[in-house]
Chain A
Amino acid sequence: MFLQHLLNGITIGGGYALIALGYTLVYGVLKLINFAHGEIYMIGAYLGFICVSLLPALPPFFQTHTLVFVCLIFLVAAGLCSIYGFYLEKICYRPLRGAPKLTPLISALGASIFFQNLVMITMGAKDKIFPQLITQQTMTFAGVSFTWLQLTMIGLSLVLMLGLYWFINRTRLGTAIRAVSTDPFMAQLLGVNVDTVISVTFMVGSFLAACAGVMIGLYYGTINFTIGYLGGMKAFTAAVLGGIGSVTGAMAGGLLLGIIEALGAGYFSTEYKDVYAFFILIAVLIFRPAGLLGRRLHERA
């Protein structure tokens, strides 16, 4: 029973973590909460849905090799979403780089509303239902029931998180991102192209969010144009819980949030599922204002 709840929590927590990474990365380099990030996740889910709907029109190869097709969906949706992320930054935030802090925040909210309505108008207001690509046969091991899709989901989020960890800590571009997030001015003096770094950060964040979107779509089977709000909200909570600006913090925060929700709902009442998460969040913020793994706040708000 406990293990089952834990597994449930990790499954959804992995999704939260992937979205939370986008918030935390952008906050790191720009000190901005990108409130349109939830919508990128939603758009990712929709792009995934469009890809899945195209299946009957594709060569028979893809119909027999579902795994190849699913990988392709992830790549296409995440790739396109990176472009969304790139232009989101270029159009909505870059012109406001020197503006007071609240201005880009308003711009982010505007972009969020724009994306929601764009999807509603182009894709319709009804729920979209994913056709079942992978059969969800239930298996039981040590009293814990799970499906292959669930394991794949957990595996994929872990792989993506490890990949990101490697990218941030072991590559030139990742080092540049860390440099900009520590001190943008100094990084610029040392020859780092700050604009490129910021663009890359948005693209990486959007890539991960889109993966989460496709994953959630495939796993739960339904999406609509409002999922970005709730998903974004939860992921933002996860990012703050782990310590906004910290990459490992966002991963830990996402998983922790999922587990707290699952255990809280499982052992107490499901009616107050969200309450447990926010209760823990408040408790953490009282004792560790920078979040669980956050750096000490350099700047005063």
Chain B
Amino acid sequence: MRKWLVLFCLCMLAVACTKKGTKEENVIKIGAAGQLTGPEAVFGADMLNGVKLAVEEWNAKGGVLGKKIELVPGDDQAEPRQAVAVANKFVTEGVAGVVGHFNSSCSIPASDVYHKAGIPQISHASTNPQLTEQGFANVFRVCGRDDQQGKVAAEFALGRLKVKKVAIIHDKTTYGQGFAEEFQKGLGSGAQVVAFEGITKGEKDYSPVVTKIKATNPDAVFFGGIYTEGGLLIKQYKAVGGTAPFIGGDGIMSEELVKIGGPATDGTYATFGPDTKEIASAKNFNEAYRKKYGEPGVYSIYAYDAANILLQSIQKAGSIEGAKVVEAIRAIDYNGALGHIQFNQKGDVKDSPYVVWKVEGGKFKQLK
């Protein structure tokens, strides 16, 4: 009996080995990293589905360089430490390129790992300027930067909302604090900053900070952070009797904000890219995505384009060698779902228009 068992195990082992061996030769792996679990998992799922869609479309056309694409998801849980672990895992797995990460606080430490391994990284959502200011040739992003975004938000607050006094809250992350500082810079001497407060991510009770903010009587409250905290802040601010509108950025652009914050979120502003439902180039993407995964999240399209840019560049480079792919990305002249994308010397997109959105009746709508 035991002999048979040993034999059986050996057979299984042999099968397992051969399977792995053949598999590795015939596929090209690409990584997709983001917060697949945790409080912000909605953003992670939006990203993963976008990348999945791109990979499926390429595979249906026969793959890249005659090989099928294999998608390797990596869950960084929106934690910098976890992001580095994911990056190292990608490197050992031998991925040809990475789409992600989401949070700037994850993308930046992970980019160091990718840089050392020479693997191209295209972030779909990390807007902190520092990401592409490190001088890493392999790092790109398809979204805008917080210095652009902060300026647009500040101009909107001064021009349209005519604010005189602004309170600023941030979530102490690379993204949140960075964005808040850029916003403050953008205000210049146009408005008085009556409070600049940091909050701890993951908490539920923000009543001390909103009480304090309310007492300063601002015309608007700026929040640099993600929708989880944003929704709670807005709800609790309105509960202590605050009335000023909130202004946020790409981090709060999710219907989840409305679910968490309830009716209090009506009238909240956010800076983001233009509405993709109105871009002609995004029509096919939106239809295909809807068929497979339901209504696309705001970041799905960015992840989809990032994946397409990566795959197209691998095709063009004719190899999965990091340096060649990076060169191809740098030279790309891409027409995708988001429209025309080209990268500048730093790895940022050449023109990234930010517009202002507003929550009306529980939905984000682009302001005209």
Contact = CB atoms under 8 A, between A and B. Distances in A.
Interface of A: 1, 4-5, 8-9, 11-12, 120, 125-127, 129, 132, 136, 138, 140, 145, 147, 150, 216, 220-222, 224, 226-227, 230, 261-266, 269-271, 273-274
Given A4-B211, A145-B240, A227-B204, 13 more contacts: A4-B240, A5-B211, A8-B211, A129-B259, A136-B235, A136-B262, A216-B204, A222-B228, A226-B202, A230-B202, A262-B207, A265-B208, A270-B199
A132 B262 contact: yes
Interface in B15-65: 36-39, 41-42
A114 B215 CA distance: 44
B215 A1 contact: yes
B101 interface: no
Interface of B: 36-39, 41-42, 172, 197-200, 202-205, 207-209, 211-212, 215, 228, 231-232, 235, 238-241, 256, 259-260, 262
B242 to A, nearest CB: 9
Contacts of B200: 273-274
Given A129-B259, A274-B200, A138 B232 contact: no
Given A5-B211, A120-B37, A271-B197, A222 B241 contact: no
A264 B197 CA distance: 13
Given A126-B42, A224-B39, A271-B198, A266 B211 contact: yes
A163 B25 CA distance: 68
A13 to B, nearest CB: 10
B212 A270 contact: yes
B207 A8 contact: yes
A141 to B, nearest CB: 11
B204 A222 contact: yes
Nearest to B209: A270
A147 B240 CA distance: 8
Nearest to A127: B39
Given A270-B199, A274-B200, A221 B212 contact: no
Given A120-B37, A221-B260, A222-B232, A145 B208 contact: no
A238 to B, nearest CB: 14
Contacts of A120: 37
11 contacts: A4-B211, A8-B205, A8-B207, A126-B41, A145-B239, A145-B241, A150-B239, A220-B205, A221-B231, A222-B232, A265-B209
Contacts of A140: 241
Contacts of B241: 138, 140, 145
A66 to B, nearest CB: 16
A264 B203 CA distance: 16
Which 9 pairs from chain A and chain B are nearest by CB? A125-B37, A265-B208, A8-B207, A271-B198, A145-B241, A220-B204, A270-B209, A145-B240, A126-B41
Contacts of A270: 197-199, 208-209, 212
Majority-rule SS of B interface residues: helix
A273 B41 contact: no
Nearest to B215: A1
A274 B232 CA distance: 19
A140 B240 CA distance: 9
B263 to A, nearest CB: 9
A147 B41 contact: no
B232 A12 contact: no
A200 B40 CA distance: 38
A265 B212 contact: yes
A266 B208 contact: yes
Nearest to A9: B208
Nearest to B42: A126
B303 to A, nearest CB: 18
B207 A11 contact: yes
Contacts of A264: 208
Nearest to A11: B207
Nearest to B264: A136
A132 B203 CA distance: 19
Contacts of B42: 126
Contacts of A136: 235, 239, 262
B198 A226 contact: no
B239 A138 contact: yes
A139 to B, nearest CB: 9
Given A129-B259, A132-B262, A220-B232, A261 B208 contact: yes
A220 B241 CA distance: 16
A136 B207 CA distance: 15
Contacts of B240: 4, 138, 145
Contacts of A8: 205, 207-208, 211
B239 A271 contact: no
B327 to A, nearest CB: 38
A232 B310 CA distance: 44
Given A138-B240, A138-B241, A220-B204, A266 B41 contact: no
A147 B199 CA distance: 23
Nearest to A222: B260
A254 B135 CA distance: 50
A232 to B, nearest CB: 13
B97 to A, nearest CB: 26
Contacts of B259: 129
A230 B203 contact: yes
Nearest to B242: A145
Nearest to A265: B208
Nearest to A147: B239
A125 B41 contact: yes
A216 B204 CA distance: 8
Contacts of B239: 136, 138, 145, 147, 150
A104 to B, nearest CB: 28
